[in-house]
Amino acid sequence: MFEKIPFTNIVAKNRLLSKTLTKKDYENPVYNKENLMNSKFVISGSADSFQMPPITDFAVQNLFHVESFMIFHYGFDSFTERQNFHSFLIMYTYFGQGILTYQGKNYTLKEGDGAFINCMDYHLYKADRMQWDTAVLHLNGPLLAAFHAQYMQNGSPVFHEETNGSFQKILEHLLKLYSIPHLYRDWQASTCIDNMLNHLLLLTAPEEKEKLTHRNTSAI
């Protein structure tokens, strides 16, 4: 999993708390200032951070694009509480268990569970009882608000697929596109994200959920 994808491992020597951030932290270009200003968090554990290449102004204005990607290995007391952040977030659990609060409901996220949310809406996610390994993929693009609204018509932000499924394969392909130079990379990445979003839309469609339930029932 994630073979040949370059990551930088970051280990938190102490818990990182939003309330202890300084003015210098807010001005640090490494961090997204809008994110910090609209978040409360406690982070312990470690993370594998993917170094994003520069995104062109054209891609930001016209295409689907990745803003950031990290795999967090959260300690049991870690949480992020946020709203009014112009970004869309896909989370995906590899190990452990987390809890997501979104649009007034709580969701338990176990291995293979993911969620697709609009960060303008109030949301809270936290590790539950143990280490929680989860991918955190921030996306943006002109059509994402409309796409997310369509996705939510299926009734829930949560999706499920095994860790060796199509979502993981598309995600790894997307990161590979960003990890080395490609001809028309911004266009290729946008197409890849479009494929990912369409896959999640079909994965959570009521018809597909009914088929999955029928297969699981038949196997008993």
pTM of the model: 0.90
Q: What pLDDT shows up at residue 210? A: 55
Look over the chain and give the mean of its residue pLDDT values, rounded to a whole number.
Answer: 91
Q: What pLDDT shows up at residue 155? A: 92
Compare 133 and 4 and report the one with higher pLDDT.
Answer: 133
Closest CA relative to residue 94, chosen from 173, 178, 10, 167: 167
Q: What pLDDT shows up at residue 211? A: 54
Residue pair 115/139 in contact (Cβ under 8 Å)? The answer is no
**What whole-number distance in Å separates Cα of residue 130 and Cα of residue 97?**
7
Tens digit of each residue's pLDDT (9 = 90 or more) over 160-214: 999 999 999 999 999 999 999 889 999 999 999 999 999 999 999 986 555 544 4
What is the average pLDDT across 60-87?
96
Q: What pLDDT shows up at residue 208? A: 59
Give the DSSP letter of residue 126.
E
Q: What pLDDT shows up at residue 99? A: 98
Name the H helices within the chain.
23-27, 33-37, 57-62, 144-152, 166-179, 185-203, 206-218
**What whole-number distance in Å separates Cα of residue 135 and Cα of residue 32?**
18
- Strand pairing report for 105-109 and 98-102: antiparallel
Helix (H) or strand (E) holding 164, with range, is: none
The sign of the torsion formed by the CA atoms of 97, 203, 157, 92 equals: positive
What is the average pLDDT across 88-115?
98
Please report where in the chains the tokens 């969620």 appear, as a residue.
Answer: 115
**% of the chain residues with pLDDT over 90:** 76
Question: Which pLDDT band, with edges at 50, 70 and 90, does 152 fall under?
Answer: very high
Residue pair 176/4 in contact (Cβ under 8 Å)? The answer is yes
Closest CA relative to residue 135, chosen from 166, 109, 101, 154: 109
Q: What pLDDT shows up at residue 110? A: 97
Q: What pLDDT shows up at residue 41? A: 93
Name the H helices within 71-184.
144-152, 166-179
Residue 219 has pLDDT above 50, yes or no: no
**What whole-number distance in Å separates Cα of residue 217 and Cα of residue 127?**
31
Tens digit of each residue's pLDDT (9 = 90 or more) over 25-52: 778 776 788 898 899 999 999 999 999 9
Residue 218 has pLDDT above 80, yes or no: no
